[in-house]
Structure 1
Amino acid sequence: MDNGGNMLAIILFAPLFGSLFAGLFIFRKKFIFSAVIPIICLIVSLICVFLMLPKFFTQEHYKEVLSITDWIVTGRFSIDFGFMIDGISMIMILVVLIVSLLVHIYSIGYMENDNCFNKFFCFLSAFVFSMLFLVMSDNFLGLFIGWEGVGLCSWLLIGFWYHKNTASFAANEAFVMNRIADLGMLLGIFMIFFNFGSVKYDIVFSDALEISEFSLTLIGILLFIGAMGKSAQFPLHTWLANAMEGPTPVSALIHAATMVTAGVYLIIRSHPLYDLIPSVGIFIAYLGTFVAIFAASMALVNKDLKRIIAYSTLSQLGYMFVAAGLGYYWIALFHLTTHAFFKSLLFLGAGNVMHAMEDELNITKMGSLFKPLKYTAILMIIASIALSGIYPFAGFFSKDKILEATFLEGHYDLWIVLLISAFLTAFYSFRLLMLVFFVPKNHNSHPHEASNLMLISMLPLAILAIISGFFEKTFHHYLINYLSIKDTQIDYSILVILIITALFVAVSGILLAIFIYYKKYKINNIHSNIVYKLLLNQYYIPRLYNTFIRTYKAISDFLWKEIDLKIIDYVVDCIANSFILAGNKTRKMQNGNLSYSLMFMICGIFAMLVILLLLF
């Protein structure tokens, strides 16, 4: 194994070592090294990444590969435990490790008084390892193993406080919803092997031109179904908001660096396939646009602090899928990167507010928290400005590129809808800030600022939320060697108009939110408004799903009681009872009584004579 292979192995397996170490103390009282060792392991991984990074800038199409051992060898199918770091996965690894490291540090303060402190860090580091396994695999089957590992860890962490029924339900819902989507992805992998004879990226992508358009379209659709589940795209979206039942650091990790970003990564990783099936890409873009405004509209009226941010994630994922669907994969990856920083910052800030308010989540029961939570407020304002797409914060650069790409492609309908979504995003982001920090006090709590450790862990995210957008050209130049890059050149005057329009829309949303809530302006009878009720009840989609589930359960109960028990079980029991009865009757043949034996012999002879008479 060369030096690059050693580095790759350390990057991948260091978080697993941290998880296993914390797992040794899973049933013991709080042990601080259960957090320290996983954090050190993440730092070691991150150092290795930075040591490898210069080669990706200086050498074209550079990648590092590692083959550990044979995995499956049967018939014409052969696959090994192979891993790879190229330009695409390097970006994802950086995002995962940076955000995960800061979330781990933050969690020391957040989970300080939790009885399951050690277990939490065991699960959290396993989550990071699973995501790295997914990202670094050099084949679709290895990606699927990491994909399922991420699903398992999310189930463990969303339901971490399993004594709460809501947490257990949310964990199960996320797990089941993703299993539905994963069936589609697994079928897609089967189709890849059936058509290509391999699941390794290099072989599949190099031979893609030789496969029929129908097969490629089917593969693209099936893979996207898997992405829909992981990235919570409509109609497999309901689990994302309910996943807020887990500890807040988990929410930050799921929404910023792991789990939901996996679906976007799958589309970007499979870009040589999607380049050949633009019709599927258009569908992805239209669905992403719908999800962007669909989720933003629900965030407008929601009162739950974390759910509002969760809907924001769902909306931004829609933007990413729009860019990927239109073939602007580097822009999708760029927005994924910038979004990771300001979204994790928002969630960690929400964790500070929850601690200060004794786990209260209803933002209408807060207010006047700016003074006691000044640093948290400033950090969340930075994140919200970035999310709203205001210059010079990161969200301005990445979100604006998606709007430009949509306009450049001539999809003006998508551009208008995304602009409306941007307005809604700015409005609900500052609605949250106003109700939490600036409106008059509406609680009896005695809030306090988070610990210095928690605030310090948030500071790098705030810096990245401000400056990461300025690396747009570097990002673009870096990915030219690894992605199919569409030309985004646009007339300068049109570009200026697009930028001014986007900024005007975002600023208008912010100012409207400030005006409504600072002036305590109220819309008459809003709570009885049909649209308000529709948004508050998530378009009644969860109720529709519950109705379907109840109907399915009622049918299942009927089949169980009336068909299974009364018919199938009855028939089986009758057959069994007949054998038991026959056994009881014939048992006397073996009791040693000569009279019974003679009687059975006579009966047997009589039966044989009867059969002979009938036959002849």
Structure 2
Amino acid sequence: MILFCISLFFPLLSFIIAGIFSHSSKNLFIGLFCSLLMIVSATASLMLTASLSVDEPLNLTLKEFINLGSLDLSFSFYLDAISLVMLSTVGVVASIVHIYSIGYMRDDASFNRFFSYLGLFVFCMNVLVSSDNFIGLFIGWEGVGLCSWLLIGFWYKRPSANVAANEAFVMNRVADLAMLVGIFYIFYSFGSLKFSEVFNARSDLSGLNLGIIATLLFIGAMGKSAQFPFHTWLANAMEGPTPVSALIHAATMVTAGVYLVIRANFIFANVPEVLHFIACLGAFVAIFAASIALVHNDLKKIVAYSTLSQLGYMFVAAGLGAYKIALFHLVTHAFFKSLLFLCAGNVMHAMNDELNIKKMGGLYKFMKPTALLSIVASCALAGFYPFAGFFSKDKILEVAFSKDQILWVVLLFGAVFTAFYSFRLVMLVFFARPKSEEHAHEAKNYMLVGMSVLGVLSVISGFFWSNFSEFLGASLGDFKLNLSHSSEIFLLVLTLGLVLASAGFAVFAYKKEIFKESICESKIYKILQNAYFIPKFYEKFFINGYALISKICKKFDEMIVDKSVDFVALLVTKFAYLANKMQSGDLSVMLRFMVAGFALLLSFIFLLNGAK
């Protein structure tokens, strides 16, 4: 109980303390204190994970919330293996991001406010992954959405940051509406919103109702995890500070959708059609995003599209029923992806916020530690042995091969693309011919130490698959692959061989500069460079359409509503002016009006009597 309260509420305490001083001048002590609180919170989560029996999940109730008829909700939490894995992952990554942010944000006037937002972000994510009911999950869900808006638009004086923050917020609200309707439908169907009661009663509901619930919940997951067609906000979210990108795209917001599918697996497992759609959409997004990253030149957006692609792999695993493997890839991905973003932050600082990788090159000479850590993260992302990504991604490919070989082919191409763009980035940034005369500088030592922890985890975490699978056994059950040992060896060798060949080609191509500038004029290059023109399509048909409707409504309000109200006011004014003429102050005139009025009144009375 005490360990969980420390894990849950220390990030909230960080938010409150930093928030109190948010308008004060920057104070490094605030960053140090908030980082200490986050480290203690992460340590408590790890201790809780090590000490708790996964066969007997812990139920904690802090306070009654709503007790109205059959609706009985409280601030209660359910700590099973899934929750503990998520709490630990979020805690570790958030702690390192906090330490890194002390150096990265040290010259920012809103230093204190930044740490306040980070604390609230982590608290909301902890609520999301540990709540024992759908309302608590939704509160945390909306909380991380709010915090992402605050952090993406952190530099609110930049118009582009405001646009990106609003895009993320609005697009997620559209998907969240479907999720909220799904939660209402769950209560209507089951009479409860507690996970234990809903999942145990799942067999009492028709397949159609379960299908509606699963579809609505997954639409919510699509928005939060930026799955097509809700994907456009993710790349634009790079307008926020780089540590925010590391947190959003590694351990918090975008993984919430995957967590929802894993947590509600008892519902999804009874609707195979929805699961199949999840797997197909995930495979499409995996290769769709990877293809865009092949040609993109924006450093952070390349990493963002790689996140989108890896989320697709997670959804494929979840859609095929391999929930353990999906969660395993979520964890390993959190380590190497956050490391990749932090390396990108070092490069940005060294290059005075330059993001175009074609304007970089030769940075290995000045930034050897960052270059080595980038190579580690890229190897893990590409899926090289013995890095963490090799183990988790290979498991997903094995599942796809055993369940649906079309999905396997798509994911295999995605893996080849991933290896290419990962080492394209490394080569153009660190080893290509220098394109700038500026002399880069390395990050602070304490920033590199924190990043080194992620580097170690990016290497060793994959070796703990057996322990991880055993730990999750009671919560997610067993998933058996129908593959022979020889098939597994064949898949492993084939995948690793193709990935190595793809990465090797990228190294050779960009070392020898075999790609000419004329390639940028090709149609396929322009299509990929513009993300298949989907953002422009949205802008033309949705944003511009909405703007046109808004202008029409504005004109209607001005020409019809406002003028009709003004006309009534004008009539009243005119009548009052005419009536005022009657009040001349002349007694004889007033007596004449009185007599005339009295005569009219008598005439009216006589007319009424005559009618009778």
- Provide the TM-score with structure 1 as the length reference: 0.95
Pick from 102, 105, 116: which aligns with 1:108? Answer: 102
- Structure-1 residue corresponding to 2:23: 27
Q: 2:420 aligns with which of 423, 427, 435?
A: 427
CA displacement 1:96-122 (0-9 Å, x = unmatched): 000000000000010111111111101
Aligned mate of 1:457, from 438, 450, 454:
450
TM superposition shift of 1:78? 2.0
Residue 483 of structure 1: how far off its partner (Å): 0.7
**Residue 479 (structure 2) pairs with residue 483 (structure 1):** no
CA pair 603-380 structure 1, distance change in 2 beyond 3 A = farther
Cα distance, 1:45 vs. partner?
1.6
Whether 2:509 is the aligned partner of 1:513: answer no
Residue 580 of structure 1 and its aligned partner are, at CA, apart by: 4.7
Instruction: Output the amino acid matched with 1:50.
Output: L
Deviations 1:10-58 (A, max 9, x none): 21111100111111111111112211222221222222223322344xx
| Whole-Å separation in 1 of the counterparts to 2:193 and 2:312 | 28
Kept in 1: contact 2:28–2:106 (CA 8 A): no
Q: Is the Cα–Cα contact under 8 Å of residues 390 and 506 in structure 1 kept in the other structure?
A: yes
Over 3 Å counting, the alpha-carbon distance change for 1:293 and 1:608 in structure 2 is: farther
Q: 2:519 aligns with which of 522, 526, 532?
A: 526
Deviation readout 1:179-209 (Å, 9 max, x if unpaired): 1111011001100111011111111111111
Q: How far off its partner does 1:69 sit? A: 1.6
Q: Which residue matches 1:253?
A: 247
Quote the Cα distance in structure 2 between the aligned partners of 1:80 and 1:598. 76
Q: Does 1:444 align with 2:444?
A: no
The SS at the match of 1:482 is helix
Give the letter aligned to residue 28 of structure 1: S
Residue 393 of structure 2 is aligned to residue 399 of structure 1: yes
Q: CA, structure 1 residues 202+574, in 2 after alignment: closer, same or farther (shift >3 Å)?
A: same
Compared with structure 1, are the counterparts of its residues 594 and 417 closer, same or farther at alpha carbon in structure 2 (3 Å cutoff)? same
Structure 1 residue 291 and structure 2 residue 285: aligned?
yes
In the other structure, the counterpart of 2:559 is 566
- Residue 137 of structure 1 aligns with which residue? 131
Instruction: Give matches, 1:300-449, under 5 Å.
Output: 300-409=294-403, 411-449=404-442
Residue in 2 that maps onto 1:44 = 40
8 Å CA contact 1:8, 1:64 repeated in 2: no
What SS does the aligned partner of 1:401 have?
Answer: helix
**Counterpart in 2 of 1:89?**
83
Matches within 5 A, 1:205-284: 205-284=199-278
* Aligned position for 2:534: 541
Whole-angstrom distance in 1 between the partners of 2:120 and 2:70: 33
What value does the CA root-mean-square deviation take over the aligned residues?
A: 1.8
* Conserved? CA contact 2:49–2:88, under 8 Å: no
Superposition pairs for residues 41-190 of structure 1, below 5 Å?
41-56=37-52, 59-190=53-184
Aligned residues of 2:361 and 2:434 also touching (Cα < 8 A): yes
Aligned to 1:552: 546
Q: Deviations over 1:240-290 (max 9, x none)?
A: 000001100000000001000001001000001011011100001000000
Alpha-carbon distance in 1 for matches of 2:510, 2:605: 99
> What is the CA-CA distance between 1:525 and the residue it aligns to?
2.4
Letter in 2 for 1:6: I
Separation in 1, partners of 2:478, 2:604: 88
Partner residue, 1:492: 485
Corresponding residue for 2:13? 17
**Identical pairs, percent:** 52
* SS of match in other structure, 1:78: strand
Q: 2:475 & 2:180 partners in 1: Cα distance?
A: 26
Query: Which piece of structure 1 moves more, 565-574 or 431-440?
Result: 565-574
1:383-424 C-alpha deviation (Å, 9 max, x unpaired): 000000011100000000000001111x11110010000000
Q: Distance in 2 between matches of 1:211 and 1:601?
A: 78
Give structure 1 stretches of 5+ with no counterpart: none
